[in-house]
Amino acid sequence: MQKQRVVFVHGLGSFGAAAWPKQHGMALDYDALFLRRHGFHPVEEPLSSDVAADVEILVGALADVGGGHVVAHEQGAIAAMLAALDRPELVFSLSLVEPACLSLTAELPATAAHRALMEPLFDVRSQLNDADYEREFYRRAFSSVAGVPDTPQARRSARRLRLQAPPWEAPLHIVPGVPTLVLTGGWEPLYEEIAAYLQETGALRRVAAGGHRPQDSVEGDRIIRSFIAEVGRTMSVRAS
């Protein structure tokens, strides 16, 4: 029996398999594929973000096996939702971890406050160098002032961050009919507001400790695996 595919879509930081350390073992039960979004490469120079290209990469990863489950973190959730809107027959389920789907909740208070804080920085990003932009981005978004090592990899990461489009510009809509899990870390009102919105539209909402990466916790990993397994079982019953 062919394994169902599970495609993992990373956020802003680490990418590919490195972004999903707790989920590597899912390859025992699934055809697990850890994507690299457009412009994310370990050696080549970063490129400006391109959501349409991300969607094309994701749809391609699903279409060659007739569909699969999608697990996406942060900005990766934007491409995941758009792919499900474009090709719902290919998306068996969506697991959205701390989804940066700000355009869905643009009028709600936490999202509006976050945009008011971040938008002035996006407006002047062409006037800042990569390191200064990265430092200010993390200070505003995560109240973090930790130093970043001066390595080629770190410099590429800073350049890539400055090339990302504001997440509130994505043309998102609710995906009808696709089983959806939204998992948050319970630490930031912005992501809880987005999760509550998705819950109201039919998503299963869960919280696991772990800050912005709840998928790295034992409980967060268990929630993702259990959700995908349950959707898989339901699909098998319907097909029998």
pTM for the structure as a whole:
0.95
Check if the beta carbon of residue 79 is closer than 8 Å to that of residue 9.
yes
- Verify that 138 and 67 share a domain, yes or no: no
206-217 residue pLDDT tens: 999 999 999 999
| DSSP per-residue codes, 148-159 | ---SHHHHHHHH
- Verify that 141 and 118 share a domain, yes or no: yes
- Verify that 127 and 234 share a domain, yes or no: no
Contacts of 132 (CB under 8 A, 6+ apart): none
Task: Classify residue 240 as exposed, middle or buried by CB count within 10 Å of its CB (0-12, 13-18, 19+).
Answer: exposed
- What would the two tokens of residue 97 be? 């971890």
pLDDT the model gives residue 146: 57
Residue 64, domain CATH: 3.40.50.1820
32-75 residue pLDDT tens: 999 999 999 988 999 999 999 999 999 999 999 999 999 999 99
- Verify that 58 and 154 share a domain, yes or no: no
* Distance separating alpha carbons of residues 48 and 40, to the nearest angstrom: 10
Domain count, the chain: 2
109-160 residue pLDDT tens: 999 999 999 999 999 999 999 999 999 999 998 877 656 677 888 899 999 9
Dihedral class, residue 151 (left if φ above 0, else alpha if ψ from -120 to 50, else beta): beta
* Distance separating alpha carbons of residues 226 and 165, to the nearest angstrom: 33
- Verify that 50 and 77 share a domain, yes or no: yes
Greatest Cα pair distance in the chain: 59
Of 138, 162, 186, the residue at which a domain comes to its end is: 162
- Verify that 22 and 72 share a domain, yes or no: yes
Instruction: Summarize the chain as % helix, strand, coil (round to 5).
Output: 50, 15, 35
Full residue range of the structural domain in which residue 80 is found: 5-105+170-239
